[in-house]
Chain A
């Protein structure tokens, strides 16, 4: 094997080439670039992405100019100087709005909303780098400002992995309950007819209910569950670490097996969907280990088939696993 450069090193070299290309390549440099590209297909991929990054900036520059012109056709047309001032100021500050323009950018950046359908889970990276995992039938809206990151959980359940930023606390509101974090990981659940539930996995969060005077703020440490029933104080209870992590594996839509028999694994999958896995009786004691997607029994069966060299048949709402004599390539 050749010396393998890391993907990051290759990206860095590709970025240098893209920057040089922008300045204009001499024939000698152009030759050097094509040699570098021919040396490894990964160079081609990295360079393609570097050029795509530049093209993306160009697209946005062009769109921003169009949007500004559409908004104020008469005053802005031909006013290259003003346009430039607007764009530099606003984009550079990330979120700031400068004199009279670039509102489009502010609007674009001000709010993010996400939802899942029944049976769906979704992993979302928010614009500050925080990650939200939405469970089934859930909805959140994120409002970001310079001083705070506010998330409203409108329904359902979400796991928040908060990017640390002391200057911008991360506040999740669910019903009348506010959960405040700086950098931590926790879930909030808002289901009909149930108290708001907060489970802390890492760090510390503070729970407040501004409109419920009889419920003073509570600080929650890791591996603690809090319940906030209406019109009553918040109650908390420690939760064993193992249970927390199992709970979160489930939230990622996973099932973990450690040397589990096929028969038991098949039974476990039935809890998560209406597709049945039928294992031929003589195979029931074969074991399997791994992490699987809970709502994908067919994927599990196929994996088991590859791993244990079995035959898999997918029928309507049923998957059958049985012995096979020869390996067939697909």
Chain B
């Protein structure tokens, strides 16, 4: 499978990344037995980036929601375990999709705020490296020279920074001040589907 990640990354950054917190917050309210929200999100990115052409996707937010829904349904079919929460919430996940018209795009200033907020949380050196390399567009050598560190260390900070931002962008906040999550241990919250024929 040949995927041009860099070409598609711009589209993902613009059309999917900003909606990841919304999607996660909805997924968190659901209980998908044997599947974490992180798993669903990773698979969602995988499915989207594997599409031959992203430019034909007219309503990216809706598309992301549908992709996540399809992943959950596939998973439920495979495992034959269904949580009544999941089934009930599947509709909830989709419910606001039709209004995802292009003009309701998240405002770019909100995206900038999100990035600035995430950058502010990084260790200073890591943050400097990300800003110099990506926002200012300095080369690896220039960055290393300005900061008085080796090129290899620049790369290391880059990796740390990208990992931290991957966590931040999706979660919309490091701490999880989520009000009491309902337990997922309750036995009768799950029901084994009758084997279909």
Q: Which residues of A contact B (CB under 8 A)?
A: 6-8, 10-12, 14-16, 18-20, 22-23, 37-38, 41-61, 63-64, 84, 87-88, 91-95, 105, 107-109, 112, 123, 125-131, 133, 159, 161-164, 185, 201, 245, 248, 252, 256, 259, 288-293, 296, 298-300, 302-304, 306-307, 309, 327, 329
Residues of A within 8 A of B169 (CB): 53, 56
Task: Assess whether A92 is in contact with B131, with CB atoms less than 8 Å apart.
Answer: yes
Task: Assess whether B179 is in contact with A159, with CB atoms less than 8 Å apart.
Answer: yes
Q: Interface digits, B158-197 against A, CB 8 Å rule (1 contact, 0 not)?
A: 1111110111011011110111101000101101011011
Contact residue among B88, B128, B140, B163 (Cβ-Cβ distance under 8 Å from A23): B140
Alpha-carbon separation in the docked complex, A252 to B196 (Å): 35
Pairs A-B, 8 closest by C-beta atoms: A94-B120, A7-B38, A303-B88, A129-B173, A45-B46, A61-B135, A51-B9, A45-B45
Known: A92-B127, A329-B196. A302 touches B163 (CB 8 A): no
Q: Interface digits, B1-25 against A, CB 8 Å rule (1 contact, 0 not)?
A: 1010110111011101100010001
* B187 CB, nearest partner CB in chain A, Å: 9
Known: A49-B17, A55-B13, A307-B191. A60 touches B115 (CB 8 A): yes
Contact residue among A47, A201, A288, A291 (Cβ-Cβ distance under 8 Å from B5): A47
Alpha-carbon separation in the docked complex, A60 to B131 (Å): 10
Total number of B residues with any Cβ neighbor in A under 8 Å: 93
* A47 CB, nearest partner CB in chain B, Å: 6
Task: Assess whether B163 is in contact with A15, with CB atoms less than 8 Å apart.
Answer: yes
Q: Which residues of B contact A (CB under 8 A)?
A: 1, 3, 5-6, 8-10, 12-14, 16-17, 21, 25, 29, 36, 38-39, 41-50, 82-85, 87-92, 95, 108-109, 111-117, 119-120, 124, 127-128, 130-137, 140, 151, 155-156, 158-163, 165-167, 169-170, 172-175, 177-180, 182, 186, 188-189, 191, 193-194, 196-197
* B92 CB, nearest partner CB in chain A, Å: 5
Known: A48-B12, A307-B87. A53 touches B136 (CB 8 A): no
* A325 CB, nearest partner CB in chain B, Å: 13
Alpha-carbon separation in the docked complex, A208 to B140 (Å): 53
Specify the chain B residue showing the minimal Cβ separation from A14.
Answer: B166
Task: Assess whether B116 is in contact with A105, with CB atoms less than 8 Å apart.
Answer: yes
Of the A-B pairs whose beta carbons lie under 8 Å apart in the complex, a sample of 26, sorted by A's number, is A11-B163, A16-B163, A22-B155, A37-B1, A41-B47, A44-B46, A44-B50, A45-B42, A48-B48, A50-B163, A52-B9, A53-B162, A61-B135, A61-B137, A63-B108, A91-B135, A92-B127, A108-B113, A112-B113, A129-B172, A161-B179, A259-B188, A292-B85, A299-B89, A302-B91, A307-B84
* A62 CB, nearest partner CB in chain B, Å: 9
Residues of B within 8 A of A63 (CB): 108, 112
Task: Assess whether A293 is in contact with B127, with CB atoms less than 8 Å apart.
Answer: no
Alpha-carbon separation in the docked complex, A236 to B16 (Å): 46
